[in-house]
Amino acid sequence: MNSKALFLTIILFHLIPLIACISPPETAVVTRVIDGDTVVIDTGQRVRYIGIDTPEVYPQPEAGGMEAWQANRKLVEGKKVRLERDVSDTDKYGRLLRYVYVNDTLVNAELVRLGLAEARAYPPDTEYQDLLEQLETEARQVGRGMWAK
């Protein structure tokens, strides 16, 4: 092995662990639920759910905000979740943008199905937007959650 190849091998050997340390995890434990569409994971990073929007809890709770927050807590708090990236890694606030799964349940979709979140496209992150919009339409039609009459 020539000296250039040896040098590159040594550099790569030292860089790979560093890259792994700064990459967002594919799985994590949710340590805190901020509101209906944002959580904190065990790395301390905030994760914003892609493709949905829930009523706010802070600074003043909006109608349905507490219900969305409570449902999100029930779904993910203290649980191991799988995080799926779309196109963007983070938003302008530095939050990870992810689809969040508990086992086989897509939490983003479940909140919409329950009528606790609206489907909201944030291009370019639209992988499951058709599904989310279909679930919102169904929730509206049956009057579930925020769509109750």
Confidence at 58, pLDDT banded by 50, 70, 90 = confident
How long a stretch of residues is the chain?
Answer: 149
Mean pLDDT over 121-133 rounds to 97
Residue 15's DSSP bridge partners are none
What are the chain's domains? 25-147 (2.40.50.90)
Distance CA 146, CA 41 (A): 27
Is 133 among the catalytic positions?
Answer: no
| CA separation for the pair 17, 125 (Å, rounded) | 29
Q: Is 48 among the catalytic positions?
A: yes
Name the active-site residue from 56, 62, 77, 127. Answer: 56
Q: Which of 48, 98, 113, 118 is catalytic?
A: 48
Q: Mind listing the pLDDT tens digit for each residue in 60-115?
A: 889 989 999 999 999 999 999 999 999 999 999 999 999 999 999 999 999 999 99
Q: Express each pLDDT in 108-124 by its tens digit.
A: 999 999 999 999 999 99
d(CA 54, CA 44): 22
Q: Is 82 annotated in the active site?
A: no
**Closest by Cα among 108, 113, 120 to 36:** 108
Interacting residues of 40 by C-beta distance below 8 A, sequence separation 6+: 30, 31, 32, 33, 34, 46, 47
Active site residue: 67, 95, 118, 136, which one? 95
Q: CA–CA separation, 45 vs 95, rounded Å?
A: 7
* CA Rg value for the chain: 19
H helices of the chain, in order, are: 3-22, 65-76, 107-113, 129-142
Q: Name the average pLDDT for the chain.
A: 90
- The pLDDT value recorded for residue 20 is 47
